[in-house]
Amino acid sequence: MWRALQMTLLTVAVAGGLVLGCGERPGEREFQNALRQFERGNLVRAKDLFEKSINKRPGHETNAFAHQYIGYIAWQLEDATAAVAHFENARRLHPHLYEAVYSLAVIAYREGDPTRARSLFGEAAQLRPNEPRPLEYIARIHAEAGNRREARRTLFEALSRAPQSARILTSLALLEFEELGPAAAVSYLMQALENNPNYLPALYNLGRAYAHWPEERAHAVEYFNEYLAQAPPGPQRDRAQRLLLRLEAGEPLDDEDDIAEAHAEPDEREPPDAPPPRTLDDVLRNARELAEAGQLEQAISVCLRAAIQANQRQRPDQEERALRAAVELAPESARAQLALGRHLAARDQHREALASLQRANALEPEWSHVLIALADSAAELDDYDVALDALNRAVDLVPNDPNPLWSLAELYDEAGVRRPAIDAYRRFREQFAGDPRAARAAERMEALQPVAEVRPDEPTPRPPPTREAIRNVQAAREAFDRGVSYQQRRDWDSAIYFYQRAVENDPTLERAHYNMGLIQYERRNLREAREAFGRSVDLEPNKVAARYNLALVLYELDETDAARPHLDAALREDPNFAAAHLLLGAIYADEQGTRDRARRHYERFLALQPNDPNAPAVREWLAQN
């Protein structure tokens, strides 16, 4: 039966960042002195010391950090040519140094080379999977080329990395503003202010958006006043002042004023929140006065900002009081109902949360954020029909936003609806291949419907890494990342060498043991594969792929008694793991008195994978037994 069935190893996502080890080396003293001078602002002295540290250890990879610092200093001194040369040296010595690649990308963009900039920003985005700024720049390049669809898709991808970023939400609003008009931008700008109540670009653009509607000009005046109260002197502040004067005088706006300004730079640091008022009572009293004066939207904003500040100070009771005040002042406000619903859901009060969210949905039926929050609370109450309906509507409303589709896939998965879950994960992986969750989607597809595949995962200039960051990098991660690179090229010897260096530095790096098992199996070194997968399982007992691979190796070594417990453990984690049912069927088919067990596992395998290449051989065995 073994020869008739072709079972192979399974893989899961493996990745690692390139980092560096520590220790006293030649040139280390100069390097540390240079860091101190840099932090004190003595740039020329720091540059000299960094150069001395490089000269004392020529060719050493640690010099990448010194070149990165010198490049940054050169940029500060407005010597772009020297900056590029040093950033390139840093990149050559340390190909995975994010700061060097990002800095080169920014310079290329600012010097008018969008093609090279886009390529470098793409590389930077892969090196730092949780950093949104490279994707924001790529989106800007697309927008400047007139490709708004791709710009929007890239910004949604950036937002998945930083869901609370007021900067990214404002950038999305600007895209919608310029293409669809102010109404499409307001939702994103409101969300931006929910996350950062004093974010100047959002305040400015809300004023600009409301200025388009004669009946909403009072709100435009309010937002411009808020902006002017905080904005630093400069051309943008002067422009806002001119617009405010025209609005207050009832004058029409010129055509040139139809362009939204105050773009959010990807390397801009968002301003800190202003200090809270003296007491919450003062805030709510102010909100009531605004509402009584007819300034209802401003009153809601005051309450919601108070709630955000209470959340930041970890005072949930005050947060809820502010949110309920907003709903009491404006029960017909969808954003107030949404904010209260989210808060109640976070405190596991899902039934009351659902009521607020359903009210928000009735007020704003096409607000995707309301639908996603509504689905979350409905799912917590096991009302999957409501949850699925809400998420399907959200997916239709914002097809370029990955979040509703991801939530839909997870909901199908949680509800045990296997085929729709697989389809949703597959659609997510195809449509949002650059999203960090695409790897997780592939894992869930493997778990729900395993595939036989060996696939190791691929793994402005900004200030360089701090001394603390450099001290904390680990040689194990660097070696692991190199191992992945060589494994992708099928250079087994080099990959094994670097994985061994990785585990010497960090014996708990499970992914290195796992990948060594994949390589040893590929080379038919079954005993070495058994040891590597065994260490992987010891470090991560719930990793289904590692359990299965270890069992498969043990089976090939005729150690079936040792293989069975690992397959049983894999099926406890994932009862629908078809490959484990197939292998258990083969084990029991070869033993005396266990044919009934073999039949059960084979039948389960066929139910899960009726079109698998092994299915004909399994059906033949069942027909004969």
Answer yes or no: are the C-beta atoms of 157 and 432 closer than 8 Å. yes
Banded pLDDT at 255 (limits 50, 70, 90): very low
Tell me the C-alpha distance between 596 and 622, whole Å.
10
d(CA 277, CA 255): 39
| 41-50, 303-312, 563-572: the lowest-pLDDT one | 303-312
Domains 341-442 and 473-624 share a fold: yes
Q: Give the three-state DSSP class for 542.
A: coil
- Give pLDDT tens digits for 510-565: 888 988 998 998 888 999 999 999 998 988 888 888 899 999 999 888 888 899 89
Q: How far apart are CA 214 and CA 211, in angstroms?
A: 7
pLDDT digits (tens, 9 = 90+) for 608-620: 888 777 788 888 8
What CATH architecture does domain 341-442 belong to?
Answer: Alpha Horseshoe (1.25)
**Cα gap 307→310, rounded to integer Å:** 5
Q: Which residues contact 558 (CB under 8 A, 6 or more apart)?
A: none
- Name residue, tokens 């650059």: 434
Are 498 and 484 in contact by the 8 Å Cβ rule? The answer is no
Instruction: Identify whether the C-beta of residue 101 lies closer than 8 Å to the C-beta of residue 127.
Output: yes
Asked if the model's pLDDT at residue 258 lies above 50, the reply is: no
> What six digits make up the tokens of 198?
């004093």
- 486 within 8 A of 494, measured Cβ to Cβ: yes
- Cα-only R_g, the chain: 29
The residue type at 14: V
Residue 416 has pLDDT above 60, yes or no: yes
DSSP H helices, 523-559, are: 526-539, 544-556
Query: Each residue of 192-240: pLDDT tens digit?
Result: 887 777 788 888 888 888 887 776 777 778 788 888 878 788 788 888 8
pLDDT at 392 over 60: yes
Which residue is listed with tokens 């399974």? 10
> Where is average pLDDT lowest: 88-102, 129-143, 170-184, 460-474?
460-474
Asked if 83 and 72 count as a contact pair (C-beta separation under 8 A), the reply is: yes
Alpha helix (H) residue ranges in 148-269: 148-161, 166-180, 182-195, 200-210, 217-230, 235-249
Integer Cα distance of 200 and 221 in angstroms: 15
* Close Cβ partners of 547 (under 8 Å, ≥ 6 residues apart): 537, 566, 567, 569, 570, 573
The residue type of 133 is R
- What does the alpha-carbon distance between residue 356 and residue 153 come to, in Å, rounded to a whole number? 30
**What is the model's pLDDT at position 26?**
67
| Helices 526-539, 544-556: crossing angle, 10 deg rounding | 150
User: Angle at which helices 384-397 and 368-380 pack, to 10 degrees?
Assistant: 160
- Say how far apart CA 131 and CA 117 lie, in whole Å: 17
Instruction: Check: CB of residue 483 under 8 Å from CB of residue 502.
Output: yes
For residue 324, the model assigns a pLDDT of 92
Give residue limits of the domains in the chain.
341-442, 473-624
Residue 65's pLDDT is: 84
DSSP assignment, residue 381?
T
- pLDDT beyond 50 at 465: no
Q: Which is more confidently placed, 367 or 339?
A: 339
Q: Find the mean pLDDT for residues 577-601.
A: 86
- Cα(303)–Cα(276) distance, integer angstroms: 12
Question: Of the candidates 6, 5, 1, which has an alpha carbon nearest to the alpha carbon of residue 625?
Answer: 1
- Torsion, Cα of 285, 289, 292, 295 (10° steps): -120
For residue 466, give the DSSP letter.
P
Q: Find the mean pLDDT for residues 118-137.
A: 87
pLDDT of 370 higher than 50: yes
Chain segment 5-62, per-residue pLDDT in tens: 555 555 433 333 222 233 345 677 788 888 878 777 788 888 888 888 888 877 666 7
CB-based contact 125:155 (threshold 8 Å): no
Residue 325 has what pLDDT?
92
**Alpha-carbon span 477 to 483, nearest angstrom:** 10
pLDDT digits (tens, 9 = 90+) for 84-94: 898 898 888 88
Q: Which amino acid is at 6?
A: Q
Whether 177 contacts 238, CB under 8 Å: no
In single-letter form, the type of residue at position 614 comes to N
**Residues 414, 541 contacting (CB under 8 angstroms):** no
In this predicted structure, the answer to whether residue 269 has a pLDDT above a threshold of 60 is: no
Question: 345-357, pLDDT tens digit by residue?
Answer: 888 888 898 899 9
Q: What is the DSSP letter of 233?
A: S
Report which residue type is found at 624: Q
Residues in the chain: 625
pLDDT at 451: 34
Q: Is the pLDDT of residue 479 over 80?
A: no
State how far Cα 73 lies from the chain centre: 31
Distance of CA 328 to the CA centre of its chain: 36
Q: Which two tokens stand for residue 48?
A: 């000299």
Q: Does residue 80 contact residue 88 with C-beta atoms inside 8 Å? A: no
CA dihedral 288, 294, 297, 303 (to 10 degrees): 0
Residue in 271, 213, 261, 209 with CA at minimum distance from that of residue 240: 261
* Segment holding 444, helix H or strand E: helix 438-448
For 473-624, CATH number?
1.25.40.10
Helix, strand, coil % over all residues of the chain, rounded to 5: 70, 0, 30
In the predicted model, is pLDDT for residue 454 greater than 70?
A: no
Q: Retrieve residue 256's tokens.
A: 């040139």
Nearest residue to 28 via CA among 19, 20, 40:
20
Residue of 206 and 311 predicted with greater confidence: 206
Check residue 275 and report its DSSP letter.
P
438 alpha carbon, distance to own chain's centre: 10
Highest mean pLDDT among 206-220, 313-327, 498-512: 313-327
pLDDT of residue 530: 92
Cβ contacts of 420 within 8 Å, gap of 6 or more: 412
Structure confidence at residue 453 (pLDDT): 35
Q: What is the DSSP letter of 591?
A: S
This prediction has a pTM of: 0.44
Q: Name the token pair of 501.
A: 């260096």
Name the residue with higher pLDDT: 17 or 63.
63
pLDDT at 160: 82
